[in-house]
Amino acid sequence: MHAKRKIWVLAESSVCVAAATALSLVTPFTMPLGGSVTPFATLPIIIIGLRHGAKWGVLGAMAFSLVQLLLGMRNVAAVPVQTVWHMALCALLDYVAAYTVIGFTGSIAKAFKQPVFGIAVGIALTGFGRLLCSFLSGILIWGPFTPPEWNVWVYSLAYNAAWCLPDVGIALIACLLLTRVRALDLLPNPSAEEAP
């Protein structure tokens, strides 16, 4: 990748991460123990991967995850078992892994001949990865908050699905609508350079 092109992609990715961060502050629905529907917040991160390939998508998603971690340090400090291990696991599952997985949307989308279908599958699979991270966190870290009448596995799945599935659904619909905007160039391009 030429230096000028690399600078352009870096600048575009930075703008997308900033936009995603701003959108993440819009939370019309927040769960009582953490987790919230943040309409369109992951959309700019998905766009990085669709426009510039997996490596740029993952780097952008990881940058976004670290910003979210900084904004969510109060949650990390509130884990029920106050050990370095539990706090580190919370940071990993609830922030770093949960958001970084979104960066793979573009590479998954490229694997399909039907670009729009590929985008839908990519968003659904990375959304499932995000839900899986939160589900595991709900069991391994936040389990002590499970109501006594609930099984911890069922409660974690139900609780995290309540905010994660609407979030993924909104991103999916919005991204599919944006594929109609030719100037955005969101349809997977097999020749897009992968190396940052």
Q: What is the 3-state secondary structure (H, E, C) of the chain?
A: CCHHHHHHHHHHHHHHHHHHHHHHCCCCEECCCCCEECCCCCHHHHHHHHHHCHHHHHHHHHHHHHHHHHHCHHHHHCCCCCCHHHHHHHHHHHHHHHHHHHHHHHHHHHCCCCHHHHHHHHHHHHHHHHHHHHHHHHHHCCHHHCCCCCCHHHHHHHHHHHHHHHHHHHHHHHHHHHCCCHHHCCCCCCCCCCCC
pLDDT digits (tens, 9 = 90+) for 112-128: 989 899 999 999 999 99
Q: Higher confidence at residue 113 or residue 187?
A: 113
pLDDT tens digits, one per residue of 81-94: 888 999 999 999 99
Separation between Cα atoms, residue 168 and residue 131, nearest integer Å = 9
- C-alpha 109, offset from chain centre: 15
d(CA 119, CA 171): 11
Residue 165 half-sphere exposure toward CB, CA atoms < 13 A: 7
In this prediction, residues 173-181 reach a mean pLDDT of 91
pLDDT at 189: 53
**3: phi then psi, degrees, rounded to nearest 5:** -60, -40
Tokens representing 19 are 């936009």
Q: Which domains does the chain have, with CATH numbers?
A: 3-26+40-184 (1.10.1760.20)
pTM: 0.88
